[in-house]
Amino acid sequence: MRFVMLSVPLVLAVGCPQPEDSSSTSGETGQDTASGGGQEDNWRASGAGAAYFADGVEDNSLFTLNLTRALPPREGEHYYGFVSSPTSGLVPVGEITVVGEDVNFTADIGENAVAEGFNHFEAWQSDGDGSTPDGDPVWSGDVDSTVFSVLQRLLIANPDTPSGEGSLRALETQLEFLRDEATAAATGGLDITELNLVGEKIGNGLEDPTVDANNDGDDDVYDNNYAVEADDVKGDGGYVELILADYNDAAAAVDPRDPIRSYIEQAIDGVQLCDYQTSHFAVASARGAGSTSNDSIAVSNLESVAEDMQKYLDGFDADGNGTEEDDEIGVEDSIILTSQMASMTVDVAK
């Protein structure tokens, strides 16, 4: 899966408390360096931004923290981060360094954080090894509980998908499966009857209602078939409809001004691109492969379907203007953006 960092909003400017009077006995004022400057300890917590989990070694295993206006720790001490779920203890993510006044930190925890319910972050300053939280609290943040619930339906588990997989992940799985089926058929030396059958089944895996493209008396489908795109007029369901319903729930749970909404809106673009392109192009190619009596045409159509599935996963320049724009992103970018919906707004710890 390609990883594309599209944007990192949610960086909120917050006021920092003023340092206490640090006048020395000679009447001079100690410099407030936040790392032991002057005659007294002038360190105080500072910085704000966001944290979330993106795909790493496992799905949703890469913890990402981005802050601005952060000051370095005391001399001889370090910042250490921890994440947790309602049922877990604090899991160390390592030492967090500040470059200038910015933090751009990643750490892979090696497991699916969203599936395991990780929804809290905190950081501490200490002279220890970072294995346990001690010293002074620095930053903390939590995921909105309603948004986190929707995120799990999209990326982890959804009872309405045939496999129980999250609806957005299930769409990704379906596109990959149909791509591989089309490629195998186009390169497998199949006869026209076999090519017709594959074309029909792929077409019915893309769009509902099903059709009997090869006129054999059956609307042939793959096992556990659930269409990518459905006939909205008839009220039929499909992956796209499930996904958009979940995005609507997430949007309704947050304030219209909440930056999380920008992730939702961008993620929807990738799903809608897949929806539109599927119904207008890929379905026609697949069902054309199912109805033709010419094996070379059937193979060409199946090759086109395989290319289309990859485009819908990766995104592409759909309007041909030479630039892949925000509304031309793919489903895999939608997954990245959906992970960022679970952004924890990180601020100075109270």
Q: What is the pLDDT along the chain (350 residues), one digit of tens a residue?
A: 433 333 333 333 333 333 333 333 333 333 344 444 445 677 889 999 999 998 999 999 999 999 999 999 999 999 999 999 999 889 999 999 999 999 999 999 999 999 999 999 999 999 999 999 999 999 999 998 888 888 899 999 999 998 999 999 999 999 999 999 999 999 999 999 999 999 999 999 999 989 999 999 999 999 988 999 987 665 567 999 999 988 998 888 888 888 788 889 999 999 999 999 999 999 999 999 999 999 999 999 999 999 999 999 999 999 999 988 888 999 999 999 998 888 899 999 98
Question: d(Cα 47, Cα 72) in Å, to the nearest integer?
Answer: 10
With respect to residue 350, please indicate whether it lies within any of the assigned structural domains: no
Computed from CA positions of residues 288, 292, 297, 298, in that sequence, does the dihedral angle turn out positive or negative? positive
Which residues, including other chains, have CB under 8 Å from residue 266's CB and lie 6 or more apart?
A: 6, 7, 326, 329, 334, 337
Question: d(Cα 147, Cα 337) in Å, to the nearest integer?
Answer: 13
Q: Are residues 159 and 293 in the same domain?
A: yes
In this prediction, residue 32 carries a pLDDT of 43
Domain boundary among 84, 119, 142: 142
Domain containing 14 — which CATH number? 2.60.40
Q: Are residues 332 and 233 in the same domain?
A: yes
CA angle 196, 306, 337 (to 5 degrees): 135
In this prediction, residue 255 carries a pLDDT of 82
Q: Are residues 77 and 202 in the same domain?
A: no
> Domain span at residue 264?
151-340
Q: Are residues 75 and 222 in the same domain?
A: no
In this prediction, residue 243 carries a pLDDT of 93
Q: Are residues 47 and 175 in the same domain?
A: no
In this prediction, residue 147 carries a pLDDT of 85
Q: Are residues 184 and 211 in the same domain?
A: yes
Which residues, including other chains, have CB under 8 Å from residue 245's CB and lie 6 or more apart?
A: none
**Two structure tokens written together for 230:** 């459905």
**Two structure tokens written together for 79:** 């910042």
CA angle 23, 27, 30 (to 5 degrees): 35
Q: Pairing state of beta strands 103-108 and 48-54?
A: unpaired
In this prediction, residue 306 carries a pLDDT of 98
